[in-house]
Structure 1
Amino acid sequence: MFVVHFYEQKNEMLNQLLKRVPEVGEDLRIKGRKGKVASVVEVDEKTYHVQVALEAKAKPGVAADPGKKKKR
């Protein structure tokens, strides 16, 4: 069992106790967001730091037809 800390840039997103350490380039999903493993650093024999590159969040778009906006 390994302790795996997942980081996005310098922010720790998640830490888990896993049987297998993720590999570089592997696809994964954290907190509902898709991402890829950018790098894996072994801190000691049981602890690993994994850098994750997440896809950008989709921003909500503008209403399709301005005439169909909610009326107050």
Structure 2
Amino acid sequence: MAKSIPGVPESLTRAQYASLLDSVGIDPEQTAELWFDREGIHADVIARDSHGKMIPDYKNNTYMKHRVFIPVLDEEEGK
């Protein structure tokens, strides 16, 4: 059992999860891994070729992935 933190939900609906990713332009169906830290949002998304097909990673018996990073930028005061 995880420790509960006031104001933090114990779970998300699939729609809430999809909405979160959609708000930053990441397709949840193509997301292999997602994590947040103080500097921004990190995601590993499945790589696709120019025809939209997933690119095999034969060495690891999976698919190639792109690592995406969306940084958090501090707002300038007064703007």
Greater gyration radius: 1
User: When the two structures are superposed, what TM-score results if normalisation uses the length of structure 2?
Assistant: 0.30
More helix by share: 2
More strand by share: 1
User: Whose relative contact order is higher, 1 or 2, with alpha carbons under 8 Å and at least 6 apart?
Assistant: 1
User: When the two structures are superposed, what TM-score results if normalisation uses the length of structure 1?
Assistant: 0.32
